[in-house]
Amino acid sequence: MELFNDIAPSIACNNLLNIAVSVGFLKNAVIVALISCLIVLLVILAFVLIRRIKRRIRHRFQQLFRRWLADAIVQLALNPNQAFVISPQLTKLLQKRYHRLLALDELLICKKYLKGYAMTMVVQLYEQLELRKETDQKLKSSIWSRVVRGIQEIYVFDQYDAMDQLFAFADDDNPYIRSEAHFGVVNLQGFEALRFLKQVRNSLSDWDQINLLHQLTLFEARPLVEMPEWLALENKSVVVFALKLLEAYPEQQYYELVKACLDNEDLMVQKQASRCLDKMDTWIKQQKD
Amino acid sequence: MKKLLIVEQEAVILEILNRRFSADGWTIACCSDGKSAMELMDTFCPNILLTNILIPFYSGIELLQSARSHANQIDVVVLALLVDDAVKTQCFDMGAVAYLTKPFDLEELLQTVNTVYHQQAQP
Asked whether residue A232 is domain-assigned, the answer is yes
The per-residue pLDDT for range A152-162, each reduced to its tens digit, is 999 999 899 98
Query: Among A176-180, A227-231, A273-277, B119-123, which stretch is predicted with the lowest mean pLDDT?
Result: B119-123
Q: What is the pLDDT of residue A216?
A: 92
Asked whether residue B123 is domain-assigned, the answer is no
| Chain B positions touching chain A (beta carbons under 8 Å) | 10-13, 15-16, 18-20, 23, 102-108
Question: Among A70, A112, A117, whose Cβ lies nearest the Cβ of B19?
Answer: A70
Cα B108 vs. chain centroid, distance in angstroms?
Answer: 14
For an interface test with A, give the residue of B6, B8, B13 to mutate (most A CBs within 10 A): B13
Residues of chain B found within 8 Å of residue A79, distances taken between Cβ atoms: none
Quick check: A3 pLDDT over 60?
no
Nearest-by-CA chain B residue for A62: B12
Asked whether residue A40 is domain-assigned, the answer is no
CB contact under 8 A, B12 and A112: no
Q: What is the pLDDT of residue A77?
A: 81
What is the nearest CA distance from B103 to chain A, expressed in angstroms? 4
Q: What is the pLDDT of residue A140?
A: 92
Contact A266, A236 (CB under 8 A): yes
User: Which among A256, A253, A250 has a CA at the least distance from the CA of A276?
Assistant: A250
Report the number of distinct structural domains present in chain A: 1
Percentage of residues in chain B having pLDDT higher than 70: 98
Nearest-by-CA chain B residue for A104: B12
- Stated as kind and residue range, the H or E segment containing A286 is helix A267-288
Bridge partners (DSSP) of residue B99 are: B78
CB contact under 8 A, A114 and B16: yes
Pairing of strands A114-115, B104-105: parallel
User: Which among A64, A232, A12, A172 has a CA at the least distance from the CA of A183?
Assistant: A172
Quick check: A184 pLDDT over 70?
yes
Query: Among A147-161, A213-227, B66-80, which stretch is predicted with the lowest mean pLDDT?
Result: B66-80
The per-residue pLDDT for range A99-130, each reduced to its tens digit, is 999 999 999 999 999 988 888 888 888 888 88
Q: What is the pLDDT of residue B123?
A: 62
The per-residue pLDDT for range A208-221, each reduced to its tens digit, is 999 999 999 989 88
Provide the domain limits for residue A227.
223-289
Domain of B50, CATH number, reads 3.40.50.2300
Q: What is the pLDDT of residue A1?
A: 55
| Chain A positions touching chain B (beta carbons under 8 Å) | 62, 66-67, 69-71, 73-74, 77-78, 106, 109-110, 112-119
User: Which among A284, A184, A189, A194 has a CA at the least distance from the CA of A241?
Assistant: A194
Bridge partners (DSSP) of residue B78 are: B51, B99
Question: Among B10, B12, B20, whose Cβ lies nearest the Cβ of A77?
Answer: B20
The per-residue pLDDT for range B2-47, each reduced to its tens digit, is 899 999 999 999 999 999 999 999 999 999 998 999 999 889 889 8
Enumerate residues 6+ apart whose C-beta is below 8 A from A158: A123, A188
The per-residue pLDDT for range A129-139, each reduced to its tens digit, is 888 999 999 99
Cβ neighbourhood burial of B60 (10 Å; 0-12, 13-18, 19+)? buried
Bridge partners (DSSP) of residue B27 are: B3
Asked whether residue A238 is domain-assigned, the answer is yes
CB contact under 8 A, B18 and A70: yes
Asked whether residue A266 is domain-assigned, the answer is yes
Asked whether residue B42 is domain-assigned, the answer is yes
CB contact under 8 A, B15 and A70: yes
Question: Among A62, A67, A118, whose Cβ lies nearest the Cβ of B106?
Answer: A118
Question: Among A74, A106, A117, whose Cβ lies nearest the Cβ of B12?
Answer: A106
Q: How many contacts does A have with B, using Cβ atoms within 8 A?
A: 63
What is d(CA A243, CA A258) in angstroms, rounded to the nearest whole number?
Answer: 7
Enumerate residues 6+ apart whose C-beta is below 8 A from A17: none
Average pLDDT over residues A67-93: 83
Domain of A250, CATH number, reads 1.25.10
Enumerate residues 6+ apart whose C-beta is below 8 A from A130: none
Report the number of distinct structural domains present in chain B: 1
Residues of chain A found within 8 Å of residue B84, distances taken between Cβ atoms: none
HEC letters along chain B: CCEEEEECCCHHHHHHHHHHHHHCCCEEEEECCHHHHHHHHHHCCCCEEEEECCCCCCCHHHHHHHHHCCCCCCEEEEEECCCCHHHHHHHHHCCCCEEEECCEEHHHHHHHHHHHHHHHHCC
What is the nearest CA distance from B44 to chain A, expressed in angstroms? 23
Asked whether residue A236 is domain-assigned, the answer is yes
Asked whether residue A179 is domain-assigned, the answer is no
The per-residue pLDDT for range A43-61, each reduced to its tens digit, is 999 999 999 998 998 899 8
Asked whether residue B38 is domain-assigned, the answer is yes
Model confidence at B83, in pLDDT bands (50, 70, 90)?
Answer: low
What is d(CA A246, CA A191) in angstroms, rounded to the nearest whole number?
Answer: 13
Model confidence at A254, in pLDDT bands (50, 70, 90)?
Answer: confident
Provide the domain limits for residue B7.
3-117
Strand order in the sheet with B98-101: B27-31, B3-7, B48-52, B75-80, B98-101
What is d(CA B4, CA B29) in angstroms, rounded to the nearest whole number?
Answer: 6
Contact A231, A239 (CB under 8 A): yes
Asked whether residue B13 is domain-assigned, the answer is yes
CB contact under 8 A, B102 and A113: yes
Nearest-by-CA chain A residue for B16: A70
Pairing of strands B98-101, B75-80: parallel
Contact B104, A114 (CB under 8 A): yes
Quick check: A288 pLDDT over 90?
no
